[in-house]
Structure formats: C-alpha cells, structure tokens
Amino acid sequence: MTVPAVTPQAVRRDLLARREIALIDLREEDPFAKAHPLFASQLPLSRLELEALDRIPRKDTAIVLYDDGEGLVAPAARRLAALGYTHVRALEGGLEGWRAAGYELFQDVNSYSKAFGELVETRRHTPSLPATEVKALIDQGADQVILDSRRFEEYATMNIPGGISTPGAELVLRARELAPDPATTIIVNCAGRTRSLIGAQSLINAGVPNPVFALRNGTIGWTLARQTLEHGQSRRFPDVTDQTLEEARAKAREVAYRAGVRRIDLEGLADLAEERHRTLYRFDVRTPEEYARGHLPGFRSAPGGQLVQETDVFAPVRGGRIVLADDLGPRADMTASWLAQLGWDVYVLEGGFDGALETGAWIPTRPALPAAETITPDDLAAALGDGSVVVLDLAPSPAHRKGHVPGAWFAIRARLAQDLERVPDSPPIVLTSPDDALARLAAAELSAIADRPVRVLEGGTEAWIASGRRLETGLTRAASQPEDVYKRPYEGTDNADAAMQAYLDWEYGLVDQLARDGTHGFYVI
C-alpha cells in the first residue's frame, strides 16, 4: 500500500495554524520516549485498532503517521483504512525527516504537558521547598499538610510521610477541608515536578489564603536527599461541606473565566456534536469511583489532574474541542483553565447529571474482532502438560511480569515477524492477551508468517485465571524485548540516582527547548 506523504514543514504549519491534526508515533513506548516531536502522540501499531476509535473519534481527521524506519507506517495505514479513516498520510522521512528539517525532538512521555508545567513555574515563579526543608518541618511538627496530587495508585506505592492523596483536580475543591486555618502551610507533591507545580499553582490561582508550596522535585527529590518514603498508605481527601463547595465553585469559576473557558449546557453540547468537521472529546474529570457510580453517556473517565498531565494520551487530535463534565463544578473549571492555557478549545458542561446516567467503568470502543480458531483453558492446560503447544502472551510487559500462563513467552504484536525465531519452532502456537481481543487481531497475521497452526486462548488470560489455574510470574521467556513500556525514573522504588537526576535535568531544560521548537502556543494566566 502506498501511503501519501506530507512534509515536516507542512505538519508544522498545521500545528502553528491550529488546524486539526493527529501526529501519530507508531513505535512502542520506550523508543517513543527517546525522541519524538512535541505534539506527537504514541499509538503503537501493536494496539492500533483497540485504541484508535476513542483517541481519534472523527474518521476524516487529518492523521500523519511516522516511525523511525521500522516499516510500521504501511500496515498502520491499512488498518486505519479498514476502520474507516479516510485522511491518512505518512510523515515524509519519518522521525529522521523531522530531525533533518531542523525541528526539535523531545524525550520522555507526556512531554508537552511537562514542558508547560516548567513554563508555568518560570512565568509565575511558583514557590517550592526542597525536600530537606519539608523534612525539617515534619520533624518540628509544623502546622502543615502535604497533599499528594498523583493518582491514588501511585500514592499507595510510595508517598511523603504524612501525605494525603488529593489528585490534582481535587485540590481546589478539598483544600479548605484539609487546611481550614489560613495559617496552615499547604505543600503539594508528585513524583517529579509537573503535577506538584500545576497543583500548587492551581491553589494560588484560586486565591487559597494559605501559604502554598510545591515540593521541589517531588518524591525524586525526596529520595535523592536520602529521606525515607512511606508505602502502602490509604489516606484520602475528605468530603466537602456545602459552604466549602460554594467557596470552591466561586474560586474555580473565576480562574476558568480568566483562562477564557466557555460554558455550555446539554443543548449546546448537542450543537457542538453536530459539527462533524470538528473533533469533540467528552471527558468526565471526577474520580474513577464517582464515574463508575453514574456518568453522562458518551463521556470518558479522565480524572482532571491526569488529563492535564497526559493530554497527548487522552486527546491526540491537536486542535480539537474538549468538553468537561463534573457534577460539583470546581474540578472541571480548574482542569479547563489549564487545558485552555495549553492551547485547547475547551468547554465546561453545566448540569446534565440530573438525567439518565450510565454506571460502571469506562469501556473502550472496539471494532468487530476477526474470527479465530480457539482453544479453551481446559484444553490448553492438557496441551501444556504434554508439551504439544507453545504460548505467546501479547499482554503489556508489566502485566506479563505480574502473571501469565505458565510457560508463556512474552511477545509484542508488531514484532512477531522479527522475533518469532526465538520461539520453539515445532509446536502449534496459542496466542493469549489479557482478554482475547489483541490475540484475535494478531492470529491471522501470525498464521500468514508461521508455518504451523495458530489458535487463540478463548477469553484470554482472564479466562485462564477464572478457571482457577495458577499463573507464572516474571519475564523469563522473551520473544520480544519489553520495549512496550518506558521505564519511568519517577515511578516505583527501584530507580537509580543517575536516572532520577538525569530526568530532573531534562525537565529543567524544557522551557528553552519549547522556545527553540516554537510551535506550542501556550500561555500562562
């Protein structure tokens, strides 16, 4: 398949003009994190069909695909065409073409949100305290609260002693309950810098009367200072009183107004949805628990702090529209204020929660899955017992490490053709994935290149678990290198000092890199 090409210069013009465009990096997360354009979104060929329909909801969106010479563009274009996408092009020269044009390449993940956080600190001089000073305040029993602005799951892994889980969008809503005395110092932390800075500046923007600081360099700074973290904690933010809620509403709405955020009702939302030439994202910025109890139809769960941190993941179509929903109000207003400064056309939905709501967790939109020859968990167990099959597990590498069918090999779908030679070459192959969706998508591709039968574990590894069978842990058999996940220097508890410091040094340089790149269009209120 010949994919029409577009030059890096034309892509850059679209970004500067704020025309809708989805610049898609088809590689796995680790190579993506080593180098990519500022507004590129990583959507790997391995999972393309399972993620594209939600992340690029409009079928005639201008999509530009690239890789770094791995040959991913043509198969991706075929798969997108099969899904109904009509305006798919290749970046001329791929990643090297972008570099050769003299344009900036960024590292890590969520790069433009992190660069924006650094710009906010530079422009607003967001106050911060180093880890040693915060530790001294803790030891002195000072009048302070430490609010952890990460997801609860990250907080439970490791946290600053005494810290309370208060994800970013909750800060303005909950601050009064957590620090009712204006003399109480509020310290906001995350793992690195961005969510600390955005969280602290959110409270300052909203006029919270307390002294507010970011913990400089987050848990990374704490660890580099050789200070001890807590693990397995479950302290969470409290409910709010009516008085606190009304105060937070007024403060957050004022911030949103200053940022240029617009407000619409359900009728206005329906009007926006009728404009088929514009991409429209609908996000519910409340906690996942609130979302599961009841949410507006068509809205995806995207807790506000994470939406600001991972905008490239949730909304790859740069130039699209975003509508935010929140039954209380402040979380949508504060999230919208940041998205507007990030250059998004963003609206806050007023009302709507008194109508018919859907319940349960968000369910991704998937295409019809191809038919495949399957094998039940019972039959697979028998075949494994006599060594008559080999199992390839297409789960993300962290999930594979946590637990997989005994004897299974880890494999990445997009690398099967190159890595199949590492797998024993005689038995039939059984493909599995967390459910069987990814395995079904890969089965026909593998059958075309493997000279032996290919079957799919019916229901995937989840069905194997449900049948009561044991799992094996670790990654001892790798057909593919685990490049599907970038090892973040700010998550987990086993990061090398050099990697953490290098990450901080990279963040410190982002403002200068933004200036060299010249496409961002961010502003800071």
Q: Which two tokens stand for residue 43?
A: 């959507």
Looking at 3.40.1190.20, 3.40.250.10, 3.40.50.720, 3.30.590.20, the CATH number of the domain 5-109 comes to 3.40.250.10
Kind of pairing between the strands at 345-349 and 454-457: unpaired
- Cβ 7 vs Cβ 89: under 8 Å: no
Q: Is 460 left (phi over 0), alpha (psi -120 to 50) or beta?
A: left
Indicate the CATH number for domain 374-466.
3.40.250.10
Which residue, among 184, 103, 118, has the nearest Cα to 145 in the 3D structure? 184
Secondary structure (3-state) at 85: coil
- At 395, the pLDDT band (50, 70, 90 cuts) reads very high
Beta bridge partners of 118: none
Which residue, among 164, 259, 143, has the nearest Cα to 210 in the 3D structure? 143
- At 497, the pLDDT band (50, 70, 90 cuts) reads confident
Q: How far apart are CA 289 and CA 306, in angstroms?
A: 15
Q: How far apart are CA 123 and CA 504, in angstroms?
A: 19
State the Cα torsion 202-490-42-315 to the nearest 10°. Answer: -20
Q: How far apart are CA 154 and CA 190, in angstroms?
A: 9
Secondary structure (3-state) at 218: helix
pLDDT digit string, tens, across residues 245-293: 999 999 999 999 999 999 999 999 999 999 999 999 999 999 999 999 9
Q: How far apart are CA 337 and CA 459, in angstroms?
A: 43
Which residue, among 292, 145, 278, has the nearest Cα to 210 in the 3D structure? 145
Is residue 84 over pLDDT 90? yes
In the chain, where the domains are located: 5-109, 117-239, 252-349, 374-466
Query: Same CATH topology for 5-109 and 252-349?
Result: yes
Q: How far apart are CA 448 and CA 130, in angstroms?
A: 57
pLDDT for the residue 426: 78
CATH H-level superfamily of 252-349: Rhodanese-like domain (3.40.250.10)
Angle formed at CA 393 by CA 64 and CA 32, multiple of 5 degrees: 30
Which residue, among 103, 115, 110, 32, has the nearest Cα to 67 in the 3D structure? 32
pLDDT for the residue 451: 86
Q: Is the dihedral of CA 348, 322, 122, 492 positive or negative?
A: positive
Q: How far apart are CA 333 and CA 205, in angstroms?
A: 12
- Cβ 112 vs Cβ 314: under 8 Å: no
The residue count for the chain? 525
Residue type, 282: R
pLDDT digit string, tens, across residues 292-345: 999 999 999 999 999 999 999 999 999 999 999 999 999 999 999 999 999 999
Full-model pTM? 0.95
CATH topology of domain 117-239: Oxidized Rhodanese; domain 1 (3.40.250)
- A 10 A CB-CB count for 360 gives 10
pLDDT digit string, tens, across residues 430-483: 999 999 999 999 999 999 998 899 999 999 999 999 999 999 999 999 999 999
Residue type, 169: A
429 phi and psi, to 5 degrees? -105, 135
pLDDT digit string, tens, across residues 15-68: 999 999 999 999 999 999 999 999 999 999 999 999 999 999 999 999 999 999
Angle of helix 171-178 relative to helix 242-259, nearest 10 degrees, comes to: 140
Q: Helices (H) and strands (E) in the chain — how many of each?
A: 24, 20
pLDDT for the residue 122: 97
What is the average pLDDT value for the chain, to the nearest integer?
96
pLDDT digit string, tens, across residues 370-388: 999 999 999 999 999 888 9
Beta bridge partners of 361: none
